[in-house]
Structure 1
Amino acid sequence: MKYVSFLAANGTETWGVAIDGTVYDLGPTGKNLAANVRELIENGAFGTELDLSGAPTIDEAEITHLPSLTNPGKIICIGVNYLAHQEESGKTGQTAPTVFTRFADTQMGHLAPAVKPASTTKFDYEGEMALVIGKEAWRVSEEDSWDHIAGYACYNDFSVRDWQKAASQWIPGKNFPATGGFGPYLVPAKDLGDVNKLTLETRVNGEVRQNAPVSNLVFNIPQLINYVTAFTKLNPGDVVVTGTPGGVGLFWGEGGLLNDGDVVEVEITGLGVLRNTVKDEV
């Protein structure tokens, strides 16, 4: 099942499921099974069998995508969490995950523009896999971590490198408006099987820039959940963005960074293709 958040024709935020190119509206403008995907997760209904009968339908090609979760309470991002990215950035030998935060209002959906700030000449991509928490998680053991995951989605942590590198804290370079691509779908964990067998690929104008199996994470998913929940409680609908492989634009070489009109795609096995086009801030 592929869950999608989108704008209805009247501009109302709603959600539904996408099946073979058709979206069944199950949100406020449809069957109203929940106000949004986060509420569905909180109610324990995410990933369960849903009654689609009588739900209004829309051609998926005609919807305006929103971030897979429009209102997460927390977005926890993990930096340099693939060995190849550690090596290209000179950050090997870490003994704990690098953690920073992204704000919910910096996110955008599939097909929305990725806005390159006027204040930068170093706009970059970071294809990643995001996981969404399904139930309250506090001091969770690695063994129990999988039970706390509702689902997974593609993520693009577009990064403003000069702002990111201006100081030791990365938050400024990670929180410009419309720089957190999230979607197109949120897929229940039970539908994916072993996520370590998934492959992440990032393309810029069709050129493959990043390609790695999720199994190449330096700190794997159980370790991340164990570490993060040791210092902050995660709640249903919170997001953990797990890290990007080697091949980011900053280290790609001449022409590696992004400019107006560049099309960036993040594809993960079973999660679809997240596509955003870079647009200069005006």
Structure 2
Amino acid sequence: MRLVTFEASGERRIGILKGEAVIDLNHLYPSLPRDMAAFLSLDAFDVARRAEQSETGHFSIGEVTLKAPVPAPPKILAVALNYRDHAAEAGYDIPTIPIIFNKQRTSAHGPYEPVHRPPESEQLDYEGELAFVIGRRCRRVPRERAAEVIAGYTIVNDVSVRDWQLRTPTQMMGKSWDTHCPMGPALVTPDEVGDPHALSLETWVNGSLRQASNTSELIFDCFTLVEHISTAFTLEPGDVITTGTTKGVGLGFNPKIWLKAGDVVRIKVGDLGHIENEVIDEPHPMPVIG
């Protein structure tokens, strides 16, 4: 099953992507929340599966705008240097424990929406990644039970502003700019994904293949990450954990290749679909005080 958050007629809703059609769960079940994290908290998968089996769709894919599957995740957690070849191209030793950092939830962005290039830096980079979404509130989950708390998998571009990322140890300031976590197109449930550690991962920039790997190359796999992270703090429904990138980022080239306005980044992971985002100069780089 492929759960989506979408907009139609100016309203945000949750649904199921079924081929080229979208089943509107909020139309079928008005009491269901329109927020994916809240939906996951209800564990309403049985209701959604019945809809998938019985309905053909309320909209064509062209009639809706797909948003991030979880538009406002409680947390976005990410893993640095989780592929050996990327650690090598970045000039770091292979980590012996997961290196975890966070991206602010306001960076979450739609799978086909433009990514903003900020005026404060020219060092804008891409990172194609597999991500998973937590479906159950949990703490201290042993690796052998980690699959029980994963609601599904999706694709993320961990967009990075490299000079802001690397000038401090925490990385967060270079990883959390608005629009810098496009994800989607859907939250694909584990039964449809199969083995999450046997998925191809490819990133293109302007049609040129930059990254090509497989999630079998992860140093710390998804289940190990659940065990490690949940040791320290509670994971909640809707938390997004993105698992790291492979070699081929702009930082790894000599000379380095930064993204510029007009570039298009396309990321595909296994059969999860793809995301594709054009880079544009940030439209209104002015103070915003609400």
Range of TM-score over shorter length: over 0.9
What residue number does 1:70 align with?
71
Q: What whole-Å deviation, never above 9, does each CA across 1:198-243 have from its counterpart, x for those lacking one?
A: 1111110111111111010011112111110111110111111110
The answer as to whether partners of 1:30 and 1:56 remain within 8 angstroms in 2 is: no
What residue number does 2:252 align with?
251
Q: 1:216 to 1:39 in 2, by over 3 A?
A: same
* Structure 2: distance between partners of 1:210 and 1:229: 30
Q: TM-score, normalised by structure 2?
A: 0.92
Q: Which amino acid aligns with 1:194?
A: D
Report how many residues are paired: 280
Matches within 5 A, 1:15-34: 15-27=14-26, 31-32=29-30, 33-34=32-33
Q: Which amino acid aligns with 2:8?
A: A
Instruction: Structure 1 unaligned segments of length 5 or more: list them.
Output: none
Q: Which amino acid aligns with 2:227?
A: N
Q: 1:191 to 1:90 in 2, by over 3 A?
A: same
Matches within 5 A, 1:8-19: 8-9=8-9, 11-19=10-18
Alignment RMSD (CA, Å): 1.7
What residue number does 2:58 align with?
57
- How much identity, in percent, do the aligned residues show? 35
* Structure 1: distance between partners of 2:210 and 2:199: 17
Matches within 5 A, 1:110-125: 110-125=111-126
Q: Which amino acid aligns with 1:105?
A: T
Q: What whole-Å deviation, never above 9, does each CA across 1:128-147 have from its counterpart, x for those lacking one?
A: 01101111221111111111
The Cα of 1:251 is off from its aligned counterpart by 1.0
Runs of 4+ in structure 1 over 4 Å off: 52-56
Instruction: Structure 2 unaligned segments of length 5 or more: list them.
Output: 284-290
Question: Bigger CA drift: 150-159 or 187-196?
Answer: 187-196
The answer as to whether partners of 2:84 and 2:94 remain within 8 angstroms in 1 is: no
* Structure 1: distance between partners of 2:33 and 2:56: 13
- Secondary structure at 2:51 match in 1: coil
* Structure 2: distance between partners of 1:117 and 1:49: 42
The Cα of 1:104 is off from its aligned counterpart by 1.5
What residue number does 1:43 align with?
42
* Structure 1: distance between partners of 2:262 and 2:242: 26
The answer as to whether partners of 2:81 and 2:95 remain within 8 angstroms in 1 is: no
Q: 1:144 to 1:56 in 2, by over 3 A?
A: closer
Q: 1:25 to 1:238 in 2, by over 3 A?
A: same
What residue number does 2:287 align with?
none
- Secondary structure at 1:233 match in 2: coil
Q: What whole-Å deviation, never above 9, does each CA across 1:176-207 have from its counterpart, x for those lacking one?
A: 11111111111001211111111111110111
The answer as to whether partners of 1:110 and 1:182 remain within 8 angstroms in 2 is: yes
The Cα of 1:31 is off from its aligned counterpart by 3.8
Question: Bigger CA drift: 34-43 or 205-214?
Answer: 34-43
* Structure 1: distance between partners of 2:55 and 2:127: 40
* Structure 2: distance between partners of 1:246 and 1:36: 34
- Secondary structure at 1:42 match in 2: helix
Q: TM-score, normalised by structure 1?
A: 0.94
* Structure 2: distance between partners of 1:178 and 1:55: 32
* Structure 2: distance between partners of 1:253 and 1:276: 24
Structure with the higher helix share, 1 or 2: 2
What residue number does 1:151 align with?
152
The Cα of 1:173 is off from its aligned counterpart by 0.4
What residue number does 1:222 align with?
223
- Secondary structure at 1:84 match in 2: helix
The Cα of 1:30 is off from its aligned counterpart by 5.7
